[in-house]
Amino acid sequence: MVQHNPDLKTRIIYIIFCYLGLVGWLLAGAKSATGQAAAAQAATAQLADSVQIRRLFDLALTQSGTYENLRELCQGVGPRLSGSAGAEQAVRWADQKLRTMGADSVWLQPVMVPHWVRGNTERSLLHRRGQADTKLPVCALGGSVGTPQGGIRAEVIEVFRLTDLAKLGREKIAGKIVLYNRPMEPVLINTFEAYSGCVDQRSSGAAEAAAYGAVAVLVRSMNLRMDDLPHTGVMGYRAGLDSIPAAAISTNAAAALSRALREDPNLEVTLELSCRNYPDALSHNVIGQITGSRHPEEIILVGGHLDSWDLGEGAHDDGAGCVQSMAVLEAYRQAGLRPDLTVRCVLFMNEENGQKGAIEYARVAGERGERHVAAIESDRGGFTPRGFSVDGLDGIRETALARLRDWLGLLAPYGIHFADYGSGGVDISHLKPQQTALFGFVPDSQRYFDYHHAANDRFDAVNKRELELGAAALSSLIYLIDQQGIMATPQESPKR
């Protein structure tokens, strides 16, 4: 047997390899232990979040004043069109209410807003040879000029798209009332997409028709349901063209008028409106907040618009969004929570016919250098919550959507499953250039346009439980943003 005696160099190399192996084993063990500790910490944090979200929903469904607040706003204050006495009463109501709901500071932000008044006369008659005149349910569109006393009587010509005007030409349109009769597309499951597909005839139909010599326009109401309720909404004129009267006509009446035109293309309609535009009026955004305990300079905004159209009580649009946003502050107080970031409730004035409140809010925020980490808007009615849409500048919106999808597991037990790109909301959109992550509250949309801008948008159209579920959904999302942040990944949460 031959004895092998390694030399010193060989022994040193052997010892080094053994040492490196030991270090690797120790590091692997440490990494495994660290990973296990991190996983345990994440699981503990998720459990804590789950418990807190459950509590927020329990409070909203058993102790919230959200529904009674909506009753006060709708039935105590009523319609709140910008510039009206109702709008100013709503400002005073919201100012006092926020002071009782957990806000540690409340203030009014002045803003000049349009002042349009509907007037007392809205009348339309269909004249057919040998038959009694038929009343057509109509209402002036917001911003429209009125008619001469006694109204305008003229033949009617039907179109379905703005481009139809050019095909017909001035010779066939001049001196007539244009009926825009394009319906909302029924096959679109997202009713807001259907609304977007035909609202151009309301917003710019009068200006387009005036360019061809029309004397007035009737616009089919933005409504999927066939009924006798005309739906108002904002419209505008174009400099250099005549400002002609513009009215919405109910879906049933639009269909009946279309049938009558097929029988007699030369029939006439009378339209009489007494609406009028006045100089801009002073109003206010109403703002209340809970100041953050760790990062008060960072703001999470939640809001809706305090103004409404004047036909109903503005219950779904947007009384629901206002009281849900106010309920977030109430939820923090009831749960005994103090946010790390500042949670600010903003009730915007003048979303419906000018967005002046939102524009002014964004301007002041920019001048002050305020840092809005996220903004959430509720302006799609008080129906059952389905989820949230996400918008923002490139990079921000992608990260915000990823975070929202991370949180769906916590929100799914409450029926919240939707998370995708989409509009955050008209008012908060003005914060987009300030690198704010924008979230739009998305409730079920199938019934919204039955009420939108119509006389039946009243308090009794809102379901108490659905309204409260929406308030809890907003509170839960704000809680998660406050605790985990928007820009960090779950493993890099700066709050834990």
Residue positions annotated with a catalytic role: 351
The first and second tokens of residue 334, run together, are 């009831």
Residues 330, 100 contacting (CB under 8 angstroms): no
In 355-482 the beta strands, taken as DSSP E runs, fall at 371-377, 385-391, 418-421, 437-443
User: In terms of C-beta density within 10 A (0-12 exposed, 13-18 middle, 19 or more buried), how is residue 43 classed?
Assistant: exposed
In sequence order, what are the residues at sequence separation of 6 or more whose Cβ sits closer than 8 angstroms to the Cβ of residue 157?
168, 172, 173, 176, 177, 178, 179
What's the distance, CA 2 to chain centroid? 89
Whole-angstrom Cα distance, residue 172 to residue 154? 13
Whole-angstrom Cα distance, residue 471 to residue 382? 9
The first and second tokens of residue 29, run together, are 């063990």
The first and second tokens of residue 105, run together, are 């500071």
- Taking the alpha carbons of 67, 334, 108, 322 in that order, is the dihedral positive or negative? negative
- Taking the alpha carbons of 183, 189, 193, 195 in that order, is the dihedral positive or negative? positive
The one-letter code for the residue type at 112 is M
The one-letter code for the residue type at 84 is S
Residue of 248, 58, 16, 244 lying closest to 152 (CA atoms): 244
In sequence order, what are the residues at sequence separation of 6 or more whose Cβ sits closer than 8 angstroms to the Cβ of residue 437?
373, 374, 375, 390, 392, 396, 397, 399, 400, 486
In sequence order, what are the residues at sequence separation of 6 or more whose Cβ sits closer than 8 angstroms to the Cβ of residue 289?
103, 104, 105, 106, 299, 329, 342, 343, 344, 345
In 227-368 the beta strands, taken as DSSP E runs, fall at 246-249, 268-273, 276-290, 295-305, 341-348
Residue of 458, 397, 459, 391 lying closest to 430 (CA atoms): 391
Whole-angstrom Cα distance, residue 377 to residue 186? 26
DSSP-assigned letter for residue 403:
H
Coil, helix or strand for 443?
A: strand
Residues 228, 250 contacting (CB under 8 angstroms): yes
Please, what is the Cα angle at 44 between 40 and 49, to 5 degrees?
145
